[in-house]
Protein backbone atom coordinates (compact mmCIF):
# COMPACT_ATOMS: atom_id res chain seq x y z
CA UNK A 1 0.00 0.00 0.00
CA UNK A 2 2.90 2.34 0.90
CA UNK A 3 4.56 1.51 -2.41
CA UNK A 4 1.34 2.28 -4.25
CA UNK A 5 1.15 5.72 -2.61
CA UNK A 6 4.81 6.42 -3.46
CA UNK A 7 4.18 5.45 -7.09
CA UNK A 8 1.09 7.61 -7.31
CA UNK A 9 2.84 10.63 -5.82
CA UNK A 10 5.80 10.15 -8.18
CA UNK A 11 3.46 9.98 -11.18
CA UNK A 12 1.64 13.12 -10.09
CA UNK A 13 4.92 14.99 -9.66
CA UNK A 14 6.05 13.83 -13.10
CA UNK A 15 2.82 15.06 -14.68
CA UNK A 16 3.04 18.43 -12.90
CA UNK A 17 6.66 18.92 -13.97
CA UNK A 18 5.72 18.01 -17.55
CA UNK A 19 2.84 20.48 -17.59
CA UNK A 20 5.09 23.22 -16.18
CA UNK A 21 7.76 22.59 -18.84
CA UNK A 22 5.09 22.57 -21.56
CA UNK A 23 3.70 25.91 -20.37
CA UNK A 24 7.19 27.44 -20.29
CA UNK A 25 7.99 26.16 -23.79
CA UNK A 26 4.65 27.47 -25.03
CA UNK A 27 5.44 30.94 -23.62
CA UNK A 28 8.90 30.83 -25.16
CA UNK A 29 7.36 29.90 -28.52
CA UNK A 30 4.79 32.69 -28.20
CA UNK A 31 7.53 35.18 -27.28
CA UNK A 32 9.68 34.00 -30.19
CA UNK A 33 6.77 34.40 -32.64
CA UNK A 34 6.11 37.93 -31.31
CA UNK A 35 9.78 38.85 -31.67
CA UNK A 36 9.81 37.46 -35.23
CA UNK A 37 6.74 39.50 -36.14
CA UNK A 38 8.34 42.65 -34.72
CA UNK A 39 11.51 42.02 -36.73
CA UNK A 40 9.48 41.53 -39.91
CA UNK A 41 7.64 44.79 -39.26
CA UNK A 42 10.93 46.57 -38.72
CA UNK A 43 12.24 45.20 -42.00
CA UNK A 44 9.20 46.53 -43.82
CA UNK A 45 9.55 49.99 -42.29
CA UNK A 46 13.29 50.21 -42.91
CA UNK A 47 13.31 48.28 -46.17
CA UNK A 48 16.28 48.89 -48.47
CA UNK A 49 14.97 51.03 -51.32
CA UNK A 50 17.46 49.42 -53.71
CA UNK A 51 15.35 46.26 -53.59
CA UNK A 52 12.02 47.94 -54.41
CA UNK A 53 10.62 48.51 -57.86
CA UNK A 54 11.09 52.10 -58.98
CA UNK A 55 9.51 53.96 -61.87
CA UNK A 56 9.88 57.52 -63.08
CA UNK A 57 7.50 60.05 -64.55
CA UNK A 58 7.09 59.81 -68.32
CA UNK A 59 6.34 62.68 -70.67
CA UNK A 60 3.09 62.36 -72.59
CA UNK A 61 3.32 62.58 -76.40
CA UNK A 62 1.68 65.68 -77.88
CA UNK A 63 -0.14 64.68 -81.09
CA UNK A 64 -2.03 67.88 -81.89
CA UNK A 65 -1.21 71.52 -81.17
CA UNK A 66 2.13 72.78 -79.92
CA UNK A 67 4.13 72.66 -76.70
CA UNK A 68 2.53 75.86 -75.40
CA UNK A 69 -1.03 74.98 -76.34
CA UNK A 70 -1.39 71.19 -76.79
CA UNK A 71 -4.82 70.26 -78.07
CA UNK A 72 -4.37 66.53 -77.81
CA UNK A 73 -1.83 64.16 -76.30
CA UNK A 74 -1.30 60.45 -75.80
CA UNK A 75 -0.41 58.38 -72.76
CA UNK A 76 1.22 55.21 -74.01
CA UNK A 77 0.97 52.32 -71.56
CA UNK A 78 1.88 48.69 -72.07
CA UNK A 79 -0.76 47.38 -74.46
CA UNK A 80 -2.94 50.47 -74.09
CA UNK A 81 -2.98 54.05 -75.38
CA UNK A 82 -5.07 56.74 -73.70
CA UNK A 83 -5.77 59.79 -75.85
CA UNK A 84 -6.65 62.98 -73.99
CA UNK A 85 -7.18 66.66 -74.66
CA UNK A 86 -6.88 69.76 -72.53
CA UNK A 87 -10.63 69.82 -71.91
CA UNK A 88 -10.49 66.50 -70.06
CA UNK A 89 -11.92 64.22 -72.76
CA UNK A 90 -10.32 60.77 -72.54
CA UNK A 91 -10.50 57.89 -75.01
CA UNK A 92 -9.05 54.39 -74.82
CA UNK A 93 -10.30 51.84 -77.33
CA UNK A 94 -14.09 51.91 -77.07
CA UNK A 95 -14.04 53.77 -73.75
CA UNK A 96 -14.80 57.47 -73.57
CA UNK A 97 -14.70 59.49 -70.39
CA UNK A 98 -14.34 63.09 -69.24
CA UNK A 99 -12.51 64.45 -66.23
CA UNK A 100 -13.23 67.88 -64.84
CA UNK A 101 -10.11 69.95 -65.46
CA UNK A 102 -12.23 73.02 -64.88
CA UNK A 103 -10.47 75.43 -67.22
CA UNK A 104 -8.55 75.80 -70.44
CA UNK A 105 -4.82 76.09 -69.91
CA UNK A 106 -1.44 76.60 -71.47
CA UNK A 107 1.06 73.89 -70.65
CA UNK A 108 3.81 71.70 -71.99
CA UNK A 109 4.35 69.77 -68.77
CA UNK A 110 2.17 66.69 -69.15
CA UNK A 111 3.54 63.69 -67.31
CA UNK A 112 2.15 60.32 -66.30
CA UNK A 113 3.03 57.43 -64.07
CA UNK A 114 1.92 53.83 -64.67
CA UNK A 115 0.76 52.49 -61.31
CA UNK A 116 -0.41 48.90 -61.84
CA UNK A 117 -4.20 49.12 -62.38
CA UNK A 118 -4.13 52.92 -62.34
CA UNK A 119 -2.45 55.67 -64.31
CA UNK A 120 -1.55 58.91 -62.54
CA UNK A 121 -1.55 61.99 -64.78
CA UNK A 122 0.06 65.37 -63.98
CA UNK A 123 -1.06 68.56 -65.72
CA UNK A 124 0.71 71.84 -65.23
CA UNK A 125 -2.09 74.40 -65.36
CA UNK A 126 -1.13 77.95 -66.32
CA UNK A 127 -3.64 80.78 -66.52
CA UNK A 128 -3.51 84.56 -66.12
CA UNK A 129 -3.06 84.37 -62.36
CA UNK A 130 -0.33 81.76 -61.99
CA UNK A 131 0.53 78.09 -62.26
CA UNK A 132 -0.37 74.89 -60.46
CA UNK A 133 -0.27 71.15 -61.05
CA UNK A 134 -3.37 68.97 -61.05
CA UNK A 135 -2.83 65.29 -60.33
CA UNK A 136 -5.38 62.66 -61.36
CA UNK A 137 -5.42 58.95 -60.65
CA UNK A 138 -7.46 57.09 -63.25
CA UNK A 139 -8.57 53.49 -63.42
CA UNK A 140 -6.93 52.15 -66.59
CA UNK A 141 -9.85 49.84 -67.40
CA UNK A 142 -12.71 52.33 -66.97
CA UNK A 143 -10.93 55.75 -67.08
CA UNK A 144 -12.83 56.59 -63.88
CA UNK A 145 -11.23 59.19 -61.62
CA UNK A 146 -10.11 57.51 -58.39
CA UNK A 147 -8.70 60.64 -56.73
CA UNK A 148 -7.51 64.14 -57.60
CA UNK A 149 -4.91 66.30 -55.82
CA UNK A 150 -3.92 69.93 -56.48
CA UNK A 151 -0.25 70.81 -56.08
CA UNK A 152 0.20 74.57 -55.86
CA UNK A 153 3.53 74.79 -57.60
CA UNK A 154 4.88 75.02 -61.16
CA UNK A 155 7.21 73.15 -63.54
CA UNK A 156 6.59 69.69 -62.16
CA UNK A 157 9.22 67.87 -64.21
CA UNK A 158 10.56 64.84 -62.35
CA UNK A 159 9.20 62.08 -60.13
CA UNK A 160 10.06 58.62 -58.92
CA UNK A 161 7.99 55.99 -57.16
CA UNK A 162 8.92 53.65 -54.38
CA UNK A 163 6.37 51.16 -53.10
CA UNK A 164 3.19 53.25 -52.65
CA UNK A 165 4.88 56.65 -52.45
CA UNK A 166 5.63 59.00 -55.33
CA UNK A 167 8.33 61.64 -54.83
CA UNK A 168 8.01 64.73 -57.04
CA UNK A 169 10.19 67.72 -57.86
CA UNK A 170 8.66 70.99 -59.07
CA UNK A 171 9.85 74.56 -59.51
CA UNK A 172 9.01 75.81 -56.04
CA UNK A 173 8.14 72.68 -54.07
CA UNK A 174 8.88 68.99 -53.70
CA UNK A 175 6.29 66.46 -52.61
CA UNK A 176 5.74 62.94 -51.35
CA UNK A 177 2.36 61.58 -52.44
CA UNK A 178 0.52 58.48 -51.25
CA UNK A 179 -0.43 56.84 -54.56
CA UNK A 180 -3.35 54.93 -53.01
CA UNK A 181 -5.36 58.04 -52.12
CA UNK A 182 -3.46 61.10 -53.40
CA UNK A 183 -2.72 62.40 -49.89
CA UNK A 184 0.30 64.72 -49.59
CA UNK A 185 2.60 63.09 -47.04
CA UNK A 186 5.02 66.02 -46.96
CA UNK A 187 5.77 69.18 -48.93
CA UNK A 188 9.04 71.11 -49.26
CA UNK A 189 8.83 74.85 -49.83
CA UNK A 190 11.37 77.43 -50.96
CA UNK A 191 13.25 75.59 -53.70
CA UNK A 192 12.72 78.53 -56.07
CA UNK A 193 12.52 81.56 -53.78
CA UNK A 194 15.37 80.48 -51.50
CA UNK A 195 17.63 78.55 -53.87
CA UNK A 196 16.65 79.65 -57.40
CA UNK A 197 15.50 76.26 -58.74
CA UNK A 198 13.06 76.82 -61.60
CA UNK A 199 12.78 73.14 -62.49
CA UNK A 200 14.71 69.89 -62.05
CA UNK A 201 16.33 67.60 -64.61
CA UNK A 202 16.75 64.48 -62.46
CA UNK A 203 15.53 62.94 -59.24
CA UNK A 204 17.23 60.17 -57.26
CA UNK A 205 15.71 58.33 -54.28
CA UNK A 206 18.03 56.62 -51.79
CA UNK A 207 17.33 54.91 -48.47
CA UNK A 208 17.24 58.19 -46.54
CA UNK A 209 17.42 61.04 -49.06
CA UNK A 210 15.82 62.62 -52.11
CA UNK A 211 18.30 64.20 -54.56
CA UNK A 212 16.91 66.83 -56.96
CA UNK A 213 19.34 68.19 -59.56
CA UNK A 214 18.72 71.17 -61.81
CA UNK A 215 19.80 74.73 -62.63
CA UNK A 216 19.90 77.08 -59.67
CA UNK A 217 19.88 80.81 -60.46
CA UNK A 218 21.36 83.68 -58.48
CA UNK A 219 22.19 87.29 -59.43
CA UNK A 220 25.80 86.81 -58.37
CA UNK A 221 26.61 83.59 -60.26
CA UNK A 222 23.83 83.24 -62.82
CA UNK A 223 22.71 79.66 -63.56
CA UNK A 224 24.64 76.83 -61.92
CA UNK A 225 23.74 73.15 -61.82
CA UNK A 226 23.13 72.20 -58.20
CA UNK A 227 21.56 69.39 -56.20
CA UNK A 228 19.07 69.84 -53.38
CA UNK A 229 19.24 66.97 -50.88
CA UNK A 230 16.07 66.42 -48.85
CA UNK A 231 15.25 64.26 -45.85
CA UNK A 232 13.20 61.39 -47.24
CA UNK A 233 11.04 61.15 -44.10
CA UNK A 234 9.73 64.73 -43.97
CA UNK A 235 11.09 66.58 -47.03
CA UNK A 236 13.26 69.01 -45.05
CA UNK A 237 16.16 70.47 -47.04
CA UNK A 238 19.40 69.08 -45.65
CA UNK A 239 21.77 70.84 -48.02
CA UNK A 240 22.14 72.35 -51.51
CA UNK A 241 25.46 71.80 -53.23
Summarize pLDDT for 8-48 with one digit per residue, the tens: 555 544 544 454 444 444 444 444 333 333 323 232 223 34
pTM as predicted = 0.71
> What pLDDT shows up at residue 53?
61
Where helices occur in the chain by DSSP H, the ranges are 2-45
Are the CB atoms for 82 and 92 separated by under 8 Å? yes
Are the CB atoms for 52 and 162 separated by under 8 Å? yes
Domain ranges of the chain: 53-152, 155-241
Residues 6+ apart with CB under 8 A from 91: 82, 83, 84, 97
Average pLDDT, the chain: 77
* CATH domain 155-241 topology: Thrombin, subunit H (2.40.10)
Residue segments in the chain with a per-residue pLDDT below the cut of 70: 1-53, 67, 101-108, 127-130
Summarize pLDDT for 47-74 with one digit per residue, the tens: 344 445 677 888 888 888 876 777 888 9
Amino acid sequence: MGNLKMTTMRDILTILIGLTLFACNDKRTEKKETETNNIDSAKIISSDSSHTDKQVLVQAKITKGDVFKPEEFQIELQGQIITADIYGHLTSGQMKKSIDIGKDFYTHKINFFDNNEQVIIFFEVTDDEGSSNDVYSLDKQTLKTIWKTDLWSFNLTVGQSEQEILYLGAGENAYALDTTNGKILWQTNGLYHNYGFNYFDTISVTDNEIHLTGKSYSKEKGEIIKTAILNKQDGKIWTVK
